[in-house]
Every structure is written in structure tokens, then in C-alpha cells.
Amino acid sequence: SAVISQKPSRDICQRGTSLTIQCQVDSQVTMMFWYRQQPGQSLTLIATANQGSEATYESGFVIDKFPISRPNLTFSTLTVSNMSPEDSSIYLCSVELLDTSTDTQYFGPGTRLTVL
Amino acid sequence: QKEVEQNSGPLSVPEGAIASLNCTYSDRGSQSFFWYRQYSGKSPELIMFIYSNGDKEDGRFTAQLNKASQYVSLLIRDSQPSDSATYLCAVTLRNSGAGSYQLTFGKGTKLSVIP
């Protein structure tokens, strides 16, 4: 596996503001993904972070609300824009490793976001 | 609509017993199947993956896959209180043309192992 870190680990934000979450991996990966896990719910895929090109968003998620960057093979950011209390959630990045033939995803520790 | 279904539980088993967790999926094109364990307040941790019909064993864990029935299960032998967590079933389907996989999660089964 790989060591995946996320910053911040948690934050409390005011509505209308934006927060950028960072995901860093200690080895090269093929794919990076961003998920949301709302309280008591399972994981929902927000988007696939593509290196050097625009992210691929799932139905119900748009770039204006969740802009994503991936400048290289080991780093990605997710911004939650113009936040509302409904955005309170855990945000998780996951990766598929370069040195494996499987499509297994490994998850970072998550960012717990509370919007007041 | 691609779906993954799990019984939400809670499933309670005594320490030392076998815990059986079940999952069904709707898309016959699903290719890869995963079980993740998630402790409260933590991120999902991979337990096992399985690609072929049959059983796959790893220590106290056995994953079982039946593609004809669209059914995957996880057995935990000699259950321990430390196994108490939510177990998430996930399946992947290749996105045609994109060359990538989309992982779809069930809502998870909460397991409680009673000492």
C-alpha cells in the first residue's frame, strides 16, 4: 500500500466560505479520487482527479462547487466552495497504486468538515 | 441504476463465533469486489478483494463470490471485539471509453462482537 495524508484533518467553517483540502501520497499512483461521506451514510464518489486535465465529475457534482486540481502524480486538492451546512461531511481521497495490476483503492484518513 | 445492497444491521455475534456479512449487486458487468472495514470516525480500510467465483481466504477472513447470483459475502471466523466496525461492500465497473473504474459502495453493515 501507500501512505496517504490529507490536510486539514478537520475544520469548522462559516457558510459562504471555501475550504481547500489537500491529498498527498508517498508514491506514484495512477488514479486519484475524491469521495464524500455524509453523516451515517456510505461513500459517494465526487470526481476522478486527472493529472494535467480537468477532473471527471459524477452526476450531481459540478466543477464550480468542487474544483479539483491534480498537478502531478502524487498530489491533488479538492475545494468546497461557497459552503452551506449541507456540505458538512467527511471528504476522502483515495488512490490506485501505480505498481499493482489490481484496481484496489486505498483511502486517506479523511477531512471532517463542519459548516455553521 | 447500479446498486450495491447490504443489510444495515446491527449484526451482533458473540466473541469467537463466525460473523457472516452479505452483499448483493445489480450490475452483471461488475468485475471487482471489495470489502472495507470502517471504524467509527476513521476512513475505510481494505480487508479483502476478490475477482473470481469461489472463496478467497486471508487469515480469519473469507470472501465468497457468486457472479451468477450477483452475491458476495465476507465471513469472519473467531470474531473478536476488535472486529466491531462497519463493513462496506464495494464493486467496480469499468467506465466504457474512459479506461477507469468506478467503485460503488453499499451502505455498510454494522457488526458488533459481544465479549
- In terms of Cβ atoms closer than 10 Å to its own Cβ (0-12, 13-18, 19+), residue A26 is exposed
Determine contact: B48 vs chain A, CB below 8 A: no
pLDDT reported for residue A14: 97
Residues of chain A in contact with residue B45, where contact means CB-CB under 8 angstroms, are 107
pLDDT at B101 over 80: no
pLDDT reported for residue A29: 86
- In terms of Cβ atoms closer than 10 Å to its own Cβ (0-12, 13-18, 19+), residue A88 is middle
If you write DSSP's letter for every residue of B34-76 in order, what string do you get? Answer: EEEEE-TTS--EEEEEE-SSEEEEETTEEEEEETTTTEEEEEE
**Using the beta-carbon criterion (under 8 Å), do B103 and A33 form an inter-chain contact?**
yes
Residues of chain B in contact with residue A108, where contact means CB-CB under 8 angstroms, are 43
pLDDT at A100 over 80: no
The model's pLDDT over A5-58, given as tens digits with 9 standing for 90+, comes to 999 999 999 999 999 999 999 988 888 999 999 988 889 999 999 888 889 999
Report how far residue B112's alpha carbon sits from residue B16's, in angstroms, rounded to the nearest whole number.
Answer: 12
Determine contact: A61 vs chain B, CB below 8 A: no
The model's pLDDT over B18-47, given as tens digits with 9 standing for 90+, comes to 999 999 998 888 889 999 999 999 999 999
pLDDT reported for residue A85: 96
pLDDT at B99 over 60: no
Confirm if A112 and A53 have CB atoms less than 8 A apart.
Answer: no
